[in-house]
Structure 1
């Protein structure tokens, strides 16, 4: 039987160490094709390119990584998946994996995440999809300890299937001794960013701003992704792209509309 076809993408760019690690883990599970941004696209959310042209270039970043083909794309993470599914791949992939992101995409961060938006785009197109993130923003982050867990999650997803309309958001804790206690299926914690802008003035007298902020955890339940990560567990949150608030429909129907 043919090996599973695995589409690998990310938002940190095609040369990012996290993506290179993910390719190495996936080549042991199936045939790998990479379609990823040609430059960092962090925080792009589900943006797509509408008013500009898209470019894609076939390339080989690492001849020893086992990927069948690699393409860089000038667009966003969501663009990469759209282009892969519509133009670049000869057949529909069996699964799409996005990452490994340099930094957390737990709780509210999933809203802004280019990593997860790439996975969600695949899910919208009916491709089982998972976003992987390591809670370490360093370019020299150690991805080795999470490898067996990532392979386990992908293998289980291929064997059992991911529920329709669901995309998995997986975050791996950064631990001082690189120890991981296991995997917890969780819900997304309620959290927010207390944001502010650092206002500065350039030498020409024009004001400019840097976005800064502090992460504010509003949820101390022991069934959340933030709790799992704080306890040294990998968090696995089933997310959905149907944003309907079904619990509010009955109340809204009482309005005089």
Structure 2
């Protein structure tokens, strides 16, 4: 391993054999020494879940020649925790990158995303971290048009660092004509969930989650706007979920206890 090059932890939520992690691994391997730790199966929508009450497995695998790779039986967050504690043994990597996810993690999706939660865990550990996602859910997704943007953002973070307790949420539109990079805020939106009810052979109901993405934000400074206009969106994200603006409001309450 070249000690003069930065060490980069690569994780994802689509699983260790997903095309997206291969694309990300190949992109950043030109910049630093890569260590891949990824789930052994897809973990989309896991959010910041961790494994409690059952053992975790971490196995070194030889999938791509010359790449140090580990397969984890747990969640994306488990992957980061195990990497820091067992692979790097407290000597943290210079950067953590997660993805490239098959599907967007813009707007409210950041809360549900295993991809972004892995990057958040990296930031919690004090590691500069970036999550990458592409607007294409298929296994045949073409990531080639994302690579130059991935490299540029990685180089910028390695050069400039990030504010304390902050990471980047990067989303790419599904077009080969990306116009550039837009620094954005997270759009205000939600999922209007529906549950498709069906009956199993034992006459018991079961449900498939479906829904419609409802955008409640017409701003031109949002990640949704940027992606719709063929820009790569970059949103700085924090894991301190305190609503600081609400503290003065709550101080005005008169408690009767």
Q: Which runs of 4+ in 1 moved over 6 A?
A: none
Deviation digits for residues 83-106 of structure 1 (CA, Å, limit 9, x no counterpart): 000111253100000000000000
Q: Which residue of 2 aligns with 1:3?
A: 5
The Cα offsets for residues 34-76 of structure 1, whole Å up to 9 and x where unpaired, read as 000000000000000011110010001111xx52x10000000
2:107 maps to: 107
What is the aligned partner in structure 1 of residue 76 from structure 2? 77
TM-score by length of 2: 0.97
Residue 203 of structure 1: how far off its partner (Å) = 1.1
Say yes or no: does 1:167 pair with 2:167: yes
Distance 1:255 1:52 in 2: 44
Corresponding residue for residue 186 of structure 1 = 184
1:248 maps to 246
Per the alignment, residue 217 of structure 1 pairs with: 215
* Alpha-carbon distance, 1:30 to partner: 0.4
* 1:1-257 correspondence runs (5 A): 2-63=4-65, 66-67=66-67, 69-90=68-89, 91-175=91-175, 178-257=176-255
Instruction: Note the C-alpha offset of 1:256.
Output: 1.4
Deviations 1:206-230, CA, capped at 9 Å, x for gaps: 1100000011111010000000000
Give the Cα separation in 1 of the matches to 2:62 and 2:171: 28
Q: How many residues are aligned here?
A: 252
The SS at the match of 1:50 is: coil
Query: What SS does the corresponding residue of 2:237 show, helix, strand or coil?
Result: strand
| Gapped regions of structure 1 (runs ≥ 5) | none
Distance 2:55 2:104 in 1: 31
Indicate the SS of the match to 1:146: helix
Alpha-carbon distance between aligned partners in 1 of 2:55 and 2:131, rounded to the nearest angstrom: 26
- Distance in structure 2 (CA, Å) of the matches to 1:27 and 1:246: 39
What RMSD, in angstroms, separates the aligned Cα atoms of the two structures? 0.8
Secondary structure of 2:217's partner?
A: coil
In structure 2, runs of 5+ residues without a counterpart are none
